[in-house]
Amino acid sequence: MIILDQPYVSPELAAYAANRQEPVLDNEMARACAAELEAQGGPALNIVSEDRFAALLREGQDSKDAAPPRLYTCSENSLAWVTDHCAPPLARAIEKLKNKALTRELLRPLDQDYYYRRLDFAQMQALPFDELRTPCILKPAVGFFSLGVYRINNADDWQAAKAAIAEESSRWSEQYPQSVVDGDDWLLEEYIEGDEFAVDVYFDQNGRAVICNILHHEFASADDVSDRLYYTSASIIRDRLEEFENWFNRVNAILGLRNFPTHVELRRSDSGRILPIEFNPLRFAGWCSTDVSLFAWGFHSYGCFLEGTRPCWEEALKGKEGRLYTFMALNKPANCPPVRDFDYEALCRRFAKVLRMRKNDYSRYGLFGFLYTETPENQREELDYIASSDLMEFASF
């Protein structure tokens, strides 16, 4: 079962849903995807009514021991609909992960020393700097795509973050529903030292973790909190697969999830301490950027989940040594003036091998699109460039 929703559905996901004839919820985005597939002469989507989809979602859920049906959503915009129409166990599972503060409360037994504090908007705005433990991170307890995320090192950072949030919160509410970004529920937490990773993982019908991709999240500096650059490689998979699956199995011994996909951002310290940044329920990497698994390894990450299979990493990694497979969120800089045009071709010429260039409606959202590349590990200069670029050299005003 698949829900296609705003802000974006990739051609790869739409084609997969049609070829598999997965039940797809009837909504505006699904109908738009169906029309596009029809215009291309492709197979039709198996679109089902809201009532029928809700019935499928609740099917077999009379028993408390029943695992939920496999449901994949490409966007957190769908979570409110799912919660309103699913059986209570699935709604509770979504809530465990979507609210970062609740997730931290549940997972406290894994790391008793971890510091965090939950605040509403008024409490956050009134909190004096001398009550903070710095460095720390301020973020929405219910958030998405690094919106409202700030690293706080000193009093100036704290005042600037609060001022920016007061100014920007109304814009977030225009772009995303409250179930995706909640501007009145905030989390203040310790800054986690170490390497950051993004993991697409699902818990199977028995609750065991199955990892479908691991990406390193690289930053331009210690103060950078953007979603600009992620990459995966054969060495990353080999080095972290077993360790991360073991950690996710410890996590799920507490959460008790089954037939459940999630995109997880986490940090691993040099000593091996692993702490979660966020769990994103019922989806993998946002804006369909999880398709990097297809471009890199040759399989659909959501296909593994929906078909209940485990990636054959031995086969997938053959011949991939020495290469980095990236996706880059081409986000606008802060206070970017209205852009008249963006030169995607000039940007692509900065890279040795472009796998995909996905353009976006940058007049509506805060990014120009997503870029996927294959980069030799010994030619990282192009990645160092994109990590720190504000992209304004490609914009016309």
pLDDT at 211 over 80: yes
The reported pLDDT for the residue numbered 179 is 52
pLDDT at 144 over 60: no
Mean pLDDT of the 69-80 span:
95
pLDDT digit string (tens) for 344-365? Answer: 999 999 999 999 999 999 999 8
The reported pLDDT for the residue numbered 369 is 97
For residue 353, give every residue at least 6 positions away whose Cβ sits within 8 Å of its Cβ, in sequence order, or none: 373, 374, 375
CATH number of 107-190: 3.30.1490.20
CA dihedral 168, 173, 175, 177 (to 10 degrees): 150
pLDDT at 382 over 90: yes
The reported pLDDT for the residue numbered 177 is 57
pLDDT at 115 over 60: yes
pLDDT at 22 over 90: yes
pLDDT at 73 over 70: yes
pLDDT at 224 over 80: no
pLDDT digit string (tens) for 164-186? Answer: 888 777 676 566 555 555 667 88
Mean pLDDT of the 36-53 span:
96
Return d(Cα 224, Cα 386) in angstroms, integer.
13
pLDDT digit string (tens) for 237-294? Answer: 999 999 999 999 999 999 999 999 999 999 999 999 998 888 999 999 999 999 999 9
Find the range with the poorest average confidence among 61-70, 216-225, 235-244, 298-307. Answer: 216-225
Domain 195-396 part of CATH 3.40.50.300: no
Q: Is 185 or 106 the better-scoring residue by pLDDT?
A: 106
* Residue corresponding to tokens 């937490």: 189
pLDDT at 328 over 90: yes
Q: Where do the domains of the chain lie?
A: 2-98, 107-190, 195-396
The reported pLDDT for the residue numbered 172 is 64
* Residue corresponding to tokens 């030292």: 193
Mean pLDDT of the 13-18 span:
98
The reported pLDDT for the residue numbered 225 is 63
Mean pLDDT value across the chain? 92
